[in-house]
Structures are given as structure tokens and as C-alpha cells.
């Protein structure tokens, strides 16, 4: 299908004719030589004298070529283009930041598996997060790991395979032995600054209490709420443990409630999998559908043809002039 991007440009087609009809012809005065015996010369030569004006005449080739070139120039201005079949693109309108605690306590082997065994806490988290990320096709996901410091392992990206590889390569203690939950939330807020979607979801998993943040986790949660970030927290530690190894479920619940999220507790692999599944059910993925038709412009062909016609016309006129000069 051929269409014009700027069809209003076609109103310029009759412009030369309008100018020719309404405006007076161009007149130019040139110096002349006056002969006092002009009438005698005319009489001897038996010629007829007329007014001293020269009217230039255009031949048919010039007129047809000029009209064709003008039409082609106006068509190029209207920008003809071929419309291709519609192409629909579906993209997610949700960005997700995964924040995973890799402090020293995540090395404890107390996570129950379905077969009755026990595995390391981080190993269980890696297993569940890997499956969760694999099902997020279309979402943009960022990965943050935190201990004493919070580090951005991957910014928001649709490359889920890279996120899974980074999760598999994460080891306990890489970010220090302590737990900086507030710093992890602050880093997530800065990560979401590159997001232009409405649904911003953060899933924060920790097995301890905040022991080294420069910003209080609750204050960080308030800032996150003002930026439109919804935080869901998952506690995976032992609430009855002592010292830094005790998971602060109350603080995690406060973080979630401040942002409109929900706090969960998981003590085994099955419970952790169910937690991620519940989060996915409660926060369904928003989708934006975009549709466009590819356009192939043809204006350059109109301009090229106009240039060829102009060159052909000039060559023809020059050839005629040279031929007449030789006669």
C-alpha cells in the first residue's frame, strides 16, 4: 500500500500556473543604440519595424520537462512511502529488582528439601530464584547482592540468562559478613531511576537483621514508597537465633507495609518456592502492546528522476544550440 506522509504538500501543484496567470510577465530594460537614419535603413532593406521588445518562447520539450520536474518535486515533498503489514510488539510494563542477602549467615546448612535433606541457605535461594527468573520472560530484572555493602550485579535488563548466571556465581561472603538492608533498598531506588514504567517491584530476601546500613531500612522504605517502588520481603533465617544470625521479621514486615508490599517467611525450599509464586500471583505482570507499520520512503526516487529529467533537458537544448551554430 502506497501512501503520502504529507499529502497537504500536493496543494503546491498548481502554484506555477497560478503565478503565470496572476503575475505580470517579467520585463527587463537593456541599453540600446539609436540610429538617426534608422527609417532609411529599414526602407532600403524593405523590412518591417516593430516595438523594441523580445519575447522568449519555450518549446514543447521545455514546457513538458518543467511540468514533470515540478510534479516530481512536489511528490517528493509529500513523501510517498510504502506501508508494510502491521507489526505488533508486546513488552512488559514491569521492572523487578531482586535483592539477595549473601552475608555470612547464609552459609548455614538448615534449609529443608522435599526429600528430607538439608542444604545451605544460599544454595536453596539460588535454586528457587533461578526458576523464578526463568519464568519472567518479558520482564526487566536487576540483581543486587548485599552483605556489609550492597552491590549491583546487573542493571535492569531483559537478558534473563545473564541474571541466572550471576545468581549461580554468587557466593556467601562476597559482599562482607554483615547485613546492610537499608543500603540494598537505597541501591534499588537508584537502579529504578533508569526505569520509565509504572510497576516497580523489589523482592528483598534476607536471613538476618540490619547491622551496617548507613540509612535506616524503614527510612529507605519510605523513600522507595515515594518513588513508586513496591517492596516484598522474604525472611529465610531463624527468628529464634541470637545476635546477628537472628532474622528480624518485624523489621522486614515494616519495610513491606510501608511500601504496600507483603512480608513472607520461608524455612524450606518448598516454602520459598511457594513464596515467589504467591508474589507473582499478587503482582501480575502488566503488558504494553505496541503496533506499528514499517514505512519504506520513495521520495529519493522522485528527486533522482527529476534530476535526470533536468539533465536530459539541458543536454537536449545545448545540443540543439550547438547544431544550429554549425549551420
Q: Look up residue 36 and give its three cell numbers.
A: 538617426
The DSSP H or E segment spanning 112 is strand 109-112
Mean pLDDT of 302-316: 87
Please report how many Cα atoms fall inside a 13 Å half-sphere around the Cα of residue 19, on the Cβ side: 6
CA dihedral 224, 230, 236, 239 (to 10 degrees): 70
Mean pLDDT of the chain: 82
The SS3 assignment for 238 reads strand
Helix-, strand-, coil-residue percentages of the chain, each rounded to 5? 45, 20, 30
Distances (CA, A) of 287 to 155, 185, 197, 281: 20, 25, 10, 15
| In the chain, alpha helices (H) | 15-22, 38-45, 60-78, 121-134, 160-169, 181-191, 217-226, 249-259, 269-282, 299-326
From 240, 203, 264, 244, select the one nearest 104 (Cα to Cα).
244
Q: Is the pLDDT of residue 53 over 60?
A: no
Q: Euclidean distance between the first and final Cα of the chain, in Å?
A: 53
Q: Give the tens place of pLDDT for each residue, 123-147.
A: 888 888 888 888 877 778 999 999 8
What are the chain's domains? 2-85+294-326 (no CATH), 90-289 (3.40.50.410)
Confidence class for position 3, pLDDT limits 50, 70, 90: confident
| Angle made by CA atoms 196, 181, 113, in degrees to the nearest 5 | 100
Of the ranges 58-67, 101-110, 286-295, which one carries the lowest mean pLDDT score? 286-295
Contact 104, 174 (CB under 8 A): no
- CB neighbour burial string for 8-46, b if at least 16 within 10 angstroms, e if fewer: ebeeeeeeeeeeeeeeeeeeeeeeeeeeeeeeeeeeeee
Predicted structure pTM score? 0.62
Q: Packing angle between helix 249-259 and helix 217-226, nearest 10 degrees?
A: 20
Query: pLDDT tens, 187-211?
Result: 999 999 888 777 888 999 988 778 7
138-177 pLDDT, tens digit each: 778 999 999 889 999 999 998 889 999 999 999 988 888 8
pLDDT tens digits, 12-41: 899 988 888 888 877 777 776 776 777 777
Q: Answer yes or no: are the C-beta atoms of 229 and 246 closer than 8 Å.
A: no
Cell of 166: 550471576
Q: Identify the CA nearest to 286 among candidates 200, 172, 224, 221.
A: 200
Instruction: Judge contact between 203 and 186, C-beta under 8 A.
Output: no
What is the per-residue pLDDT across 224-279, written as a single tens digit (0 to 9) for each? 999 999 999 988 877 776 565 677 788 889 999 999 888 888 877 888 888 888 87
Instruction: Give Cα separations from 294 to 2, 85, 98 (angstroms).
Output: 12, 7, 37
Q: What is the DSSP letter of 227?
A: T
Amino acid at each position: 500500500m502506497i501512501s503520502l506522509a504529507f499529502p497537504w504538500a500536493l496543494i503546491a501543484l498548481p502554484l506555477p500556473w497560478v503565478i503565470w496567470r496572476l503575475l505580470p510577465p517579467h520585463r527587463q530594460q537593456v541599453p540600446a543604440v539609436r540610429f538617426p537614419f534608422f527609417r532609411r535603413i529599414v526602407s532600403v532593406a524593405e523590412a518591417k519595424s516593430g516595438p523594441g521588445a523580445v519575447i522568449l518562447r519555450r518549446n514543447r520539450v521545455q514546457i513538458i520537462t518543467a511540468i514533470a520536474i515540478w510534479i516530481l518535486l512536489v511528490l517528493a515533498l509529500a513523501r510517498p512511502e510504502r506501508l508494510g503489514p502491521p507489526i505488533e510488539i508486546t513488552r512488559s510494563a514491569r521492572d523487578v529488582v531482586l535483592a539477595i542477602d549473601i552475608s555470612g549467615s547464609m552459609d548455614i546448612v538448615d534449609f529443608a528439601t522435599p526429600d528430607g535433606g538439608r542444604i545451605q541457605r544460599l544454595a536453596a535461594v539460588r535454586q528457587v530464584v533461578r526458576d523464578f527468573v526463568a519464568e519472567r520472560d518479558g520482564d526487566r530484572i536487576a540483581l543486587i547482592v548485599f552483605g556489609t555493602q550492597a552491590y549491583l550485579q546487573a542493571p535492569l535488563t531483559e537478558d534473563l540468562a545473564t541474571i541466572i548466571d550471576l545468581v549461580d556465581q554468587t557466593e556467601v561472603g562476597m559482599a562482607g559478613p554483615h547485613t546492610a538492608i537499608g543500603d540494598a533498598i537505597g541501591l534499588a531506588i537508584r537502579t529504578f531511576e533508569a526505569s520509565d514504567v509504572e510497576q516497580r517491584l523489589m523482592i528483598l530476601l534476607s536471613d538476618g537483621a540490619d547491622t551496617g546500613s548507613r540509612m535506616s531500612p524503614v527510612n529507605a522504605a519510605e523513600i522507595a514508597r515515594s518513588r513508586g517502588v513496591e517492596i516484598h520481603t522474604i525472611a529465610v533465617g531463624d527468628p529464634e537465633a541470637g545476635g546477628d544470625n537472628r532474622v528480624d521479621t518485624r523489621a522486614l514486615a515494616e519495610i513491606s507495609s510501608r511500601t504496600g508490599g507483603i512480608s513472607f517467611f520461608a524455612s524450606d525450599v518448598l516454602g520459598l518456592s511457594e513464596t515467589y509464586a504467591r508474589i507473582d500471583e499478587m503482582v501480575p505482570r502488566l503488558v504494553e502492546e505496541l503496533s506499528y507499520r514499517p514505512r519504506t520512503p520513495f521520495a529519493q526516487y522522485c528527486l533522482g528522476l527529476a534530476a535526470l529529467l533536468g539533465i536530459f533537458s539541458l543536454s537536449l537544448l545545448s545540443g540543439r544550440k550547438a547544431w544550429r551554430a554549425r549551420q
